[in-house]
C-alpha cells in the first residue's frame, strides 16, 4: 500500500487521469531506487468504493463485487493470449488488501478516450482508429472459446468481461432516422470522413444499444463492419490496419 501511495504521490489529484464506473486511474512513477534506469511511468487503477455510493441513485441497477473483479482481471491479464494482444494493457502487479484493491499497468497514456473525445481532441481518422482497436479487443474478450481461461488503444476496464453490470442499456433520447448519420459537425470536414461511413457507424451504434440481446451485433460483426469503412480502406496505415 505504501509503495502505491509513493508511486502516485499519495493518489494526488494532479496524477488523476480519469474515472470509470467503479475505478479511478492515476499516473504513477516508479523511482530510480527500484530500477537500474530512469524513472518508469505507470498507470495505477484502484477500485473506489465512494464512486459506487456517490452514484448509487443513478446506478441503481449496477452491482460489482470489487474483490472478484480484481481476481478475474488479474487472472485474465496473466494469460499468455492476453499478454500478446496489442490492444490489451500489460499488468505489472496488483494489491489485494482491505480498502485498497489496485492493479499497476505498464502504461503511460496520453489521456483516456472519454476525455479526448469530449474535448474535441480527436480527428475523424483518429476516432476510427480507436473504434477499430477497441472493437478488436472486445472481439477477443467476447470469444466464446475464452482462450484466456485455459489455466494501440489499450483496454483497462474489465468489469463487463463476463456478463456486464447493467440490466440493459438506455437507448438514446432522440428519434433516429435511417440513412442519416449522427456525427458532430466539427468532424464532417475532416480528411477521411465519408457520409456513407458516418451512416454505417451510426446504424451500427444504434444496433449495439438495442434492449434485446439477440438484436445486437457480435463483436466479430462489428470488427468486420469497421474494417469495411471507406476510411479504413483508403487510410489503412493511419488507422492501424
pLDDT single digits (tens) 109-156: 888 888 888 888 889 999 999 999 989 888 888 776 655 444 467 777
pLDDT tens readout for residues 66-75: 677 888 889 8
Q: What is the spatial distance between Cα 140 and Cα 88, in angstroms, rounded to a whole number?
A: 10
H/E element, 15: none
CB-neighbour burial class of residue 232 (10 A; exposed 0-12, middle 13-18, buried 19+): buried
pLDDT tens readout for residues 57-100: 544 445 556 677 888 889 889 988 888 888 889 999 999 887 78
Answer yes or no: is pLDDT of 34 > 80: no
First vs last Cα of the chain: how many Å apart? 41
Q: Are 147 and 84 in contact (CB under 8 A)?
A: no
Residue 66 sits at φ, ψ, to 5 deg, of -65, -35
CB-neighbour burial class of residue 38 (10 A; exposed 0-12, middle 13-18, buried 19+): exposed
Q: Are 214 and 126 in contact (CB under 8 A)?
A: no
Going 157 to 174 to 116 to 24, the CA torsion angle's sign is negative
Q: Is the pTM of this model over 0.75?
A: no
Closest to 153 in 3D by CA, of 111, 181, 205: 111
Identify each DSSP E strand in the chain by its residue range.
16-19, 23-30, 40-47, 91-97, 100-105
Q: What is the spatial distance between Cα 185 and Cα 182, in angstroms, rounded to a whole number?
A: 9
pLDDT given for residue 145 in this prediction: 65
pLDDT given for residue 17 in this prediction: 93
Instruction: Name the one residue in this structure whose C-alpha cell is 482508429.
Output: 129
What pLDDT band is residue 177 in, cutting at 50, 70 and 90?
confident
Angle between helices 195-208 and 219-227 (to 10 degrees): 180
Q: Which of 27-36, 150-159, 193-202 has the lowest mean pLDDT?
A: 150-159
Q: What is the spatial distance between Cα 75 and Cα 230, in angstroms, rounded to a whole number?
A: 38
Q: Are 22 and 159 in contact (CB under 8 A)?
A: yes
Amino acid at each position: 500500500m505504501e509503495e502505491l501511495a509513493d508511486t502516485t504521490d499519495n493518489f494526488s489529484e494532479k496524477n488523476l487521469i480519469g474515472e470509470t464506473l467503479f475505478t479511478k486511474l492515476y499516473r504513477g512513477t516508479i523511482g530510480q531506487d527500484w530500477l537500474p534506469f530512469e524513472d518508469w511511468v505507470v498507470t495505477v487503477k484502484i477500485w473506489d468504493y465512494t464512486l459506487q455510493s456517490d452514484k448509487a441513485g443513478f446506478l441503481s441497477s449496477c452491482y460489482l463485487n470489487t474483490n472478484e473483479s480484481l481476481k478475474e482481471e488479474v487472472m485474465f491479464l496473466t494469460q499468455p493470449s492476453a499478454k500478446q494482444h496489442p490492444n490489451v494493457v500489460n499488468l505489472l502487479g496488483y494489491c489485494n488488501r482491505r480498502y485498497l484493491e489496485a492493479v499497476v499497468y505498464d502504461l503511460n497514456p496520453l489521456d483516456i478516450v472519454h476525455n479526448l473525445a469530449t474535448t474535441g481532441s480527436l480527428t475523424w481518422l483518429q476516432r476510427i482508429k480507436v473504434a477499430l482497436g477497441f472493437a478488436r479487443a472486445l472481439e477477443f474478450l467476447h470469444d466464446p472459446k475464452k482462450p484466456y481461461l485455459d489455466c494501440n488503444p489499450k483496454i483497462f476496464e474489465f468489469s463487463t468481461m463476463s456478463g456486464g453490470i447493467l440490466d440493459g442499456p438506455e437507448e438514446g433520447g432522440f428519434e433516429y432516422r435511417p440513412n442519416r448519420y449522427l456525427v458532430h459537425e466539427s468532424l464532417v470536414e475532416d480528411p477521411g470522413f465519408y457520409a456513407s461511413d458516418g451512416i454505417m457507424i451510426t446504424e451500427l451504434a444504434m444496433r449495439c444499444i438495442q434492449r434485446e440481446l439477440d438484436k445486437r451485433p457480435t463483436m466479430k460483426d462489428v470488427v468486420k463492419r469497421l474494417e469495411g469503412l471507406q476510411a479504413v480502406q483508403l487510410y489503412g496505415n493511419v488507422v492501424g490496419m
